[in-house]
Structures are given as C-alpha cells and as structure tokens.
Chain A
Amino acid sequence: MIPSEDTIYRLDHVTRESPEVLTLSFAPEAGELMQFHAGQYVYVDMIERPKRLPSRPYSISSSPSDAFVSVSVKKLGAFSGALHELTPGSRVILRGPAGNFIPQPSMKKLVFIAGGIGIAPFLSILKGFVGRNAQDQEVLLFYSNKRREDIVFFGELQGITQALRGVRIVYCLTQQEEKADEAGEYRRFDGSMLKQYCSKFGMQDYFLCGSVPFVTETSQVLEHAGVLCQRIHAELFY
C-alpha cells in the first residue's frame, strides 16, 4: 500500500479536452512526484482561494510514469468551476493517493465501462499498460457518452488501441442520432451489448466508473447477466 500524504503541488499546465473538461497537470513544489497505482484518486485542496472550499477527490488521469499528476475535471459545480479557473503556478495540496480501483496483474481479460468523465482512471490504467507494453493484456472498453462532442481523450484512446493489440474500444452514444458510416453503439450499455461483445471474449473482470446512477445501472446489467459480484469493481463519482 502506498502511503497517503499531503503535499503541495503547483499547476504546471492545463489542457482543454472539450468545452466542459480540462486536464490539470500538477508538479510537486518540492521533492518527488507521489507514487500511485493507475486507477487511484487524490483529494485536491485549493489552498490559495480566499474562501476555502472543502477538498474533493478526483481520479488521476495520468500514468504513474508521467512527469506530472493530472486530474481531468468536468465543470459541474462550485468546486470544479473553481478548478477550471486555476492558472499555471497556482498552489494546491494533493492528498493521496487513495482508492482500490486497481486491476491486478493477474487480471488478463478486462472489461472497462466508463460513463462520461468516468473515463479518467481508465486512461491512467491504459497508459500504464502502454508504458509496460502489455501486449498480452486484453481490454474491452465501453465508453458511454450522451453525444459525440462529449467524448474526451479520443486521440489518446485511438493511439492506445494502435499501441496495444489487445485493447478494443466501443463508443456508446445514448442521445445521438445514428450515423451509418460510424462504428459504435447508439444506445445505453445493456445485456444484449454485453452478450454481443463479451461472451466470445471470455472476459473475467469488470471495472465500472461514472456517476452513481450509471454505475448502479451498469452493475445491475452485469449481475442480471450472471457476472459474479466479486468480479465487478466500481468507482463512484459523486
């Protein structure tokens, strides 16, 4: 277990992923970058704000081997709105790492199911696989969004599928009109999709990340299909 600690970090740079999502990359003010497992999260505490907001947890979207600790933040409320206003050089406390949303090395056949910005920890995990050149790792990622423009990290994800032959991505768009020349699904993840994509694949461990309703519904789909609850691992964004 990597010990959790509070360290002051400075915002190094900001990457706009979509109109609503920014990736904030932090470097420690002094000392080493924190060690973490791909899939874990950190608490972000904006210490420079005149009116302090309570810290909030964010999944790390960078890889453990990257030079920064990055979080990808969708603008949803007061805290994420304030994070979006940070400028390079801003100081924050990153407390962590925390969480056990970590695929074990023995899990060679994985299904990842991401709802919206719930893609963040999966990006970290997949980049970790690329870093290790894990060609024997089989991953099927269902990435669900309402509309095409909500998809973030598209370029990076496509790069990952090219780097690792065992990684396959199914984009699910739940509120988008179907386009004949585009691959993907135009519906929610459901039992038939699970059967269509997973039954031949012999997938064994399922990782789910997203909002509470998304994870609850998706988890129920898996359970109804007979997946053992010990094989279902979840991270909730709340």
Chain B
Amino acid sequence: MDFTQIGEVLEGEPKYRLAQAKRGIFVDLVEDWEQVTAFPKALRARLAVDFPLPIEAQTFGDTKMTAVKALIRLSDGKRIETVLMRHTDGRNTVCVSSQVGCPMACAFCATGKMSLLRSLSASEIVLQVLFFARLLKPEGERVSGVVFMGMGEPFANYDNALAAVRMLNDHDGLNIGARHISISTCGILEGIRRFTSEALQVNLAISLHAPDDKTRRELMPVARTHTVLELLAVVDEYIAQTKRKVMFEYLMIGGKNDADEQAHALAKLMQGKLCMVNLIAYNSTGVFVPATRERMVFFKTVLEQAGVPVTVRFRHGREVKGACGQLLTKEDAYVLPSDVTDAASV
C-alpha cells in the first residue's frame, strides 16, 4: 500500500474523491473499499484491485495484552516487526521499524546482527501504525503516540522517516500529535543536525548506552565516528535551537556499562542539560547479561542526586518477544526492534 499513489489511482475521478479516500483509510480505518459507501460501486470494485487495503500480518499478544507484536508482510515479501504498547494510563504507543534489518550493527542488538536488507518507504512506516489503529478501533481506542525505536536506524533513512512523521501528523489523516512522536537515533550527527532544522515538535531520543568513548565504541560501531562529547555538542545545539527536552537511552548491561564510575560520569555529562535519562533493563541475548536491579537503582539514585530527571523502564512486551532487536521470530530468523518497554519509576 503506497499512500502516495492514491491520487494517481483516483485520476479521472472528481477531486473530492481523494479527500474521501484518505478519510476512509486514515479516519474511518476501513479495511475494505466496500465500507466507503460514498463511492460508487464500480469505483469500490476498481480500488479493491488497484489499491487493496488489507494488511497481511500475524499478531502475537502477551497474556494481559499490554503489548502486541505484529509481523507485517510487505509487498516484496520482506517482513517487519512492530509493537503496540498499551499503557495503564490509556496511551497506546506504536513502536515502528524504519528499515528491514539495520546497518549499524550495535553489539547488544539482534537486529544489528542481520545486515540492512532495505530501507522502508514512508508508507511502509505509516502502514505499521495504521495496522494497530485498525486493531484498536473496535474498542473505541486510537493510537496516541509513535516511537521510531524498532528495526533500523531512522536517520539512515532520513527522508522517508521524516515523510512518515508528516503523514502521521496530518490533521486529515491519523492526526498523531508531533509531541507524541519520538525518533530515536544511535547518534548519526548529520541526521541530528538536519532534524534540528526541521520545523517540527517531534521528540528526539539518543541511544547513548555509555558515558565514555571506550565502552560506547565497544557497544556501537557508530561511536567510532565521533566522541561522546562531539555527540553531546550536536545535541546541545538541538536543545538550544528547539528548546525541546532530549531523552537519552541507557541500556543497562551487567559488567559493561553499570559500574559506579560510569554512573557518576553519566550524571556529570547530563547535569544541567534539558534532558531526561531512560535506564532500560537489558534482555539477555547470550552475549551480554542484564545489569542487576540494584545497579539500576544505584544509577537512578546517582542521577537524581545530580538533579538529572530519570526513569527506569521495566520490561514490557517480553512475552511477545518485543525486546531490543533481540527477538528472533520463528520464521525467517527475523529479529525484533528496540527494547519495547514501559516507562515507569522504580
């Protein structure tokens, strides 16, 4: 389903048909053109062939249905994973993938172990949200937020990721508020610079995962292209220009990045910055082990004492294998997105 093609498919029809079609897809969330009764029968039949609406996907829910994973099959047969997180406060957040696979090869991430197969189009990113919007509709619920934390590096697919943001934000479409959309990057500096210049209120998240260059380079190949201080200088420029708070994600890995001195170094880096730190419990892949709860509490305490806003993410979605690129599906040995967890205080 390529949403940019709908205008072409409707060529020759009255102009208002385009608005009706968009309303059908994104507002009424129809899954069959027969439900768009404003359209003549012949047009519905033609659209069913030229612009079919079904999304081919398998879903996996946890026992409490607080997290639902979907494996969506794309038109070329490739599969992507996307996760719906249902929060207790009523928010429904979709974690989207921006690429099939990922080129960045972070050591802790199973998605990184498969190389990049291809980048997703803007429509393929939006499709993931549309799928869950349809799923929630019978309950009278809607998707309230989107996080780009799934498979792939959004800033390695910058144009399409930003085009998807604009489609998601479209008032005549899914109408997801920019402030409820977050893009997470492993630290592509030029991407952050371009993002700074966008007139958008979308949130920026940075996968930091270590306060020192040595550890960060061991965990993330991209960290070999810049130092932590260079990364933070670019983020500071973003904060200065946009006045928006930045989230720093810190995956807590036992014996790797959870030492006392690393907590203090992290606090020193973050102090005084318009930011919050998200400490994320790591799901073991066999390569690394999770930090203990005590270490996470220690980090939280050190950061709080330094006046740095901090949250700790409890695992969310583990039953649906919705964790940080560590999830192998049984089919195709495909791997899942970012750590799909819930933000909550310890």
Which residues does A use to contact B, with CB under 8 Å? Answer: 4, 45, 54-55, 57, 77-78, 98-101, 208, 212-213, 215-216, 219, 223, 229-230, 232, 234-236, 238
Contacts and interface: CB of A to CB of B under 8 A. Distances in A.
B225 A236 contact: yes
B227 interface: yes
A216 B221 contact: yes
B74 interface: no
B217 A229 contact: yes
Contact of B190 (A57, A208, A238): A57
Contact of B105 (A57, A78, A216): A216
A54 B159 contact: yes
B contact patch SS: helix
Given A54-B157, A238-B104, A215 B224 contact: yes
Contacts of A215: 221, 224
Contacts of B221: 212, 215-216, 236
B193 A232 contact: no
B104 A100 contact: no
Interface of B: 103-105, 116, 118-119, 156-160, 189-190, 193, 213-214, 217, 221-222, 224-227, 230
A230 B119 CA distance: 32
Given A98-B190, A212-B104, A236 B158 contact: no
A212 B103 contact: yes
A100 B226 contact: yes
B222 A236 contact: yes
A230 B104 CA distance: 21
A55 B213 CA distance: 30
Residue of A77, A215, A230, A236 with highest tally of chain B CB at under 10 A: A236
A100 B160 contact: no
Contact of B225 (A45, A55, A235): A235
Contacts of A234: 224-225
Contacts of B193: 4, 98
A238 B222 CA distance: 10
B119 A54 contact: yes
19 contacts: A4-B193, A54-B158, A54-B159, A55-B158, A55-B159, A57-B190, A100-B230, A208-B224, A212-B104, A216-B221, A216-B224, A219-B224, A223-B217, A230-B227, A232-B224, A234-B224, A234-B225, A236-B222, A236-B224
A55 B225 CA distance: 21
A230 B189 CA distance: 18
Nearest to B162: A54
A50 to B, nearest CB: 11
Given A77-B118, A99-B190, A208-B224, 13 more contacts: A54-B158, A54-B160, A100-B230, A212-B105, A216-B105, A216-B221, A216-B224, A219-B217, A219-B224, A229-B213, A230-B227, A232-B224, A236-B221
A29 B157 CA distance: 27
Nearest to A209: B225
A4 B214 CA distance: 30
A137 B155 CA distance: 36
A216 B160 CA distance: 27
A6 to B, nearest CB: 11
A57 B193 CA distance: 14
B11 to A, nearest CB: 15
A238 B224 contact: no
A78 B193 CA distance: 26
A57 B103 CA distance: 14
Contact of B156 (A77, A223, A238): A238
B60 to A, nearest CB: 30
A215 B103 CA distance: 13
B109 to A, nearest CB: 13
Contacts of A229: 213-214, 217
A78 B100 CA distance: 14
